[in-house]
Amino acid sequence: MSPSRVPSSQLLTQTPVVAVLRAGHASEYLPVIEALVEGGLTSIELTLSTAGVFERFEAIAERFVGAAEIGVGTVTAVAEAERAIDAGARFVVTPTLAPDVVALCVRRSVPVFPGAFSPTEIHAGWAAGATAVKVFPASVVGPDYLRQLLGPFPGLRVIPSGGLDTAGCREWISAGAAAVSVGGPLVQDAFRGGDLIALRQRTRELVDVVAEAAERSRVTTS
């Protein structure tokens, strides 16, 4: 029997971009998230490689209720996933294939994006009930990798992550990606005193480029 599969949120479906945020401490997050949301981005991943995420999570999530969904990434254990969900995480992301975390999220009806790289791992994550499989590091293989995967796995939903700039996001969406995950190339120096107005402008450009590519892909496949 196939596992249940929790669908992506309406926010991610409408704006298929996840911003991945890593900072020295979660206390640095708010102004950067505000710039991203003002730029039109609505799905934000707070990584557990950042100190203080769980302590600050509820306040951050409450600040952006109705404007953005806040999820937790770099989850490597069931206990971390449970704590994230209990804190109100709207989605969970893992860096590697983690079937036990996927199973927990399915039981709790929370979208989950496990990381994988090889076709075997990607298929295993999808078969376990992933909402979509995060292909990481995506910049190593390129969007043609997804085109090849969709041959034997036509229903597969993939979110590439790792080293993607705006042009790369366009290419992956055109290749059939369900969404894209973007970190450093978008955020750049924002956590080191960088220009938040420039971040907002980069975000708007990215959101517009991805929306255009997604619309073109829907027209082509319809």
194-203 pLDDT, tens digit per residue, is 999 999 999 9
Evaluate whether residue 208 is within a structural domain. yes
What does the block give as tokens for 185? 């190339």
Could you give the CA distance from residue 116 to residue 111 in angstroms, rounded to a whole number?
16
Sheet of 112-113: strand order equals: 112-113, 92-93, 69-73, 43-47, 17-21, 180-182
Q: Which helix (H) or strand (E) holds 62?
A: helix 53-63
What does the block give as tokens for 187? 């955020």
The reported pTM is 0.95
Could you give the CA distance from residue 198 to residue 22 in angstroms, rounded to a whole number?
18
Evaluate whether residue 167 is within a structural domain. yes
Q: Which domain holds residue 99?
A: 10-221
Evaluate whether residue 179 is within a structural domain. yes
Evaluate whether residue 2 is within a structural domain. no
pLDDT at 138 over 60: yes
pLDDT at 132 over 70: yes
- Overall domain count for the chain: 1
pLDDT digits (tens, 9 = 90+) for 58-104: 999 999 999 999 999 999 999 999 999 999 999 999 999 999 999 99
Q: Which pLDDT score is estimated for 211? A: 97
Which of the pair, 116 or 221, is modelled with greater confidence? 116
Evaluate whether residue 114 is within a structural domain. yes
3-state helix, strand, coil in the chain (%, to 5): 50, 15, 35
Evaluate whether residue 52 is within a structural domain. yes
Q: Which pLDDT score is estimated for 219? A: 77
